Amino acid sequence: IATLKEKLIVPVAEEEATVQNNKITVVSVGQVGMAYAISILGKSLTDEFAFVDVLEDKLKGEMMDPQHGSLFLQTLKIVADKDYSVTASYKIVVVTAGVLQQEGERRLNLLQKKWDILTYVTWKISGLLKHHVIGSGCNPDSARFHCLMAEKFGIHPSSCHGRILGEHSDSSVAVWIGMNVTGFSLQELNPEIGTDNDSENWKEVHKMVVESAYEVIKLNGYTHWVIGLSVAGLIESMLKNLSRIHLVSSMVKGMYGIENEVFLSLPYILNARGLTSVINQKLKDDEVAQFKKSTDTPWDIQKDLKDL
């Protein structure tokens, strides 16, 4: 006897073995992983989304919840498993696993949350090409910087331009000459910008980028929305082959006289091939020095890592 489905629906095309896909995985369903997941689902970027985690109950719950919202989404297949086989043939895997930073713990003390080093470790372990392993790096720092610039000017963050390079957060480098609104470099208007002589104290704005994340952690226990949204933006550039420029973390050995295999943030072009090109910066001598210096700390830790 035919089932109701068989009575209702008649197939007219053969089942295809494989179909072009845009599948994305997130590893770990913590606050950051879920913020990223909802940003991806909300922007309809993928046709299949997989969650992977070791906590099986939470994993299942976090899979079922968005599944129940499928009416409002355009991602038909949402799956989860603690076994990585669920992610077979996935285009992009986002790793958010790691121990949450505790209040007061400066990022340097917490290896597992040290994104640039983690990106290096991921690259080494995976054996993937270096342009296929990308650290979210200074992407959230830059987003925060845009937001703080915007507040100071009273305009939307997307109309403010500013780049933060180097190590994610504590010793990141603000490139003052590049800060601009409609192409107008702020440094031309205020040559002291970012220095200690700056009467407007823009250096404080850069400091705020670093401090604000700590403040949110102190108030709320964690940050998640900024990272989630900013990573979704990176994924969008890759999936839609946009070739947009993002401040993400990649291997910088050979650039600016750097000799060690460290991952730091520079403006890179992201598209369907991954991270394909870097934008040549005209950095001032002290900015180059700062940039090189920010390789010291990660390398100090990386060189002692075993089992890579």
Partner 1 sequence: MSTVKEQLIEKLIEDDKDSQCKITIVGTGAVGMACAISILLKDLADELALVDVALDKLKGEMMDLQHGSLFFSTSKITSGKDYSVSANSRIVIVTAGARQQEGETRLALVQRNVAIMKSIIPAIVHYSPDCKILVVSNPVDILTYIVWKISGLPVTRVIGSGCNLDSARFRYLIGEKLGVHPTSCHGWIIGEHGDSSVPLWSGVNVAGVALKTLDPKLGTDSDKEHWKNIHKQVIQSAYEIIKLKGYTSWAIGLSVMDLVGSILKNLRRVHPVSTMVKGLYGIKEELFLSIPCVLGRNGVSDVVKINLNSEEEALFKKSAETLWNIQKDLIF
Is residue 234 involved in binding partner 1 (CB under 8 A)? no
Shortest distance (Å) from residue 117 CB to partner 1:
23
Q: Which is nearer to partner 1, 3 or 280 (CB)?
A: 3
Residue of 21, 54, 64, 99 interacting with partner 1 (CB under 8 A): 64
CA distances from 34 to 97, 107, 209 (A): 11, 22, 23
| Ramachandran category for residue 128: left, alpha or beta (phi over 0 → left; psi -120 to 50 → alpha) | beta
- Is 133 a residue that touches partner 1 (CB under 8 A)? no
User: Exactly one of 62, 116, 167, 261 binds partner 1 (CB under 8 A); which one?
Assistant: 62
Rounded to 5 degrees, φ, ψ at 200 are -90, -5
Residues 6+ apart with CB under 8 A from 216: 222, 223
Q: Residue 34 or residue 117: which is nearer to partner 1 going by CB? A: 34
Spatial separation of the C-alpha atoms in residues 87 and 69, rounded to whole Å: 22
The piece of 1-9, 121-129, 249-257, 289-297 that touches partner 1 (CB under 8 A) is 1-9
The correct pick among 133, 229, 239, 258 for binding partner 1 (CB under 8 A) is 229
Q: Is 143 in the site for partner 1 (CB under 8 A)?
A: yes
Q: Half-sphere exposure of 101 toward its Cβ, with a 13 Å CA cutoff?
A: 25
Catalytic, out of 146, 168, 206, 246 = 168
As measured in angstroms, the least distance from the Cβ of 216 to partner 1 is 5
- Tell me, yes or no, if 224 is annotated catalytic: no
Site for partner 1 in 160-219 (CB under 8 A): 181, 184, 186, 189-190, 193, 199-200, 202, 212, 215-219
249 burial type by CB count under 10 A (0-12 exposed, 13-18 middle, 19+ buried): buried
Rounded to whole angstroms, the Cα distance separating 163 from 146 reads 9
Residues known to be catalytic: 168
